[in-house]
Structure 1
């Protein structure tokens, strides 16, 4: 595991989720891809429109879904965006201070998702288990 992977993913949480979901893990991860992509797009659109109200729900959803898979950095970033957007709503302000976080959100989401999908690949799982006749690629 690379240092970047351990910074992005809490493998204990991810493993617990994988064990709990069993064979459904890959399907649920696919939903995370779809929903997360939508949430990131909505956050970016809200940033361009300077609309903190629209930003709150999308960031909240991304935070929760990220936590489910142990995507710690993505979840923390979404939480920071959500909390700042909520504050902006309360103070009738624009969410300008999260511009850098929003700008880095899509690459972080894509990198996190790539790690999760690579780790959950059935091919990766088969390569880890020794073949009944010896070797790793049964």
Structure 2
């Protein structure tokens, strides 16, 4: 799995650019990514490099948008190799390690992005309305 999954500067730029639509677009990335990863795995198992190209291309582009460089680079490696295999008419068996890394990389990336996008990130629980040690209510 790539060490630096997210370029947080690129993530912040995208978040600022998309504004109120950011969370919705991140949801599209999640949904599309789940479909793309499944399509890549299926195409790999079918030994069909043609069917690897588009989902890898889609995943790459969407990952770049959110600063998910580790995932984007992995998807790009799969896409480029698949295009080459189409040209030389061989099955994509050599991609076994890359395809095996894809799902865990996607899941780790998505978890990091969603955690950062959450409005509840790193908030301390409030003591408001909790009983203090003396049995009275604390309001602060």
Q: TM-score, normalised by structure 2?
A: 0.84
Runs (5+) with no aligned partner, structure 1: 128-137
1:36 paired residue number: 33
State the Cα distance separating 1:99 from its structure 2 match.
0.8
Q: Deviations over 1:7-35 (max 9, x none)?
A: 00001110000000112111110000000
Distance in 1 between residues matched to 2:42 and 2:108, nearest whole Å: 21
The two structures, once aligned, show a CA RMSD in angstroms of 1.9
1:64 paired residue number: 61
Q: Deviations over 1:26-70 (max 9, x none)?
A: 111000000000000000000000000000001000000000000
Which has a greater percent of helix?
A: 1
2:16 paired residue number: 19
Q: TM-score, normalised by structure 1?
A: 0.86
Q: Secondary structure at the match of 2:120?
A: helix
2:121 paired residue number: 124
Q: Deviations over 1:45-104 (max 9, x none)?
A: 000000000000010000000000000010000000000000000000111111111011
Distance in 2 between residues matched to 1:76 and 1:5, nearest whole Å: 9
Runs of 4+ in 1 over 2 A off after TM superposition: none
Distance in 1 between residues matched to 2:122 and 2:105, nearest whole Å: 25
Number of aligned positions between the proteins: 125
Q: Which has the larger radius of gyration?
A: 2
Distance in 2 between residues matched to 1:106 and 1:74, nearest whole Å: 10
Runs (5+) with no aligned partner, structure 2: 125-139
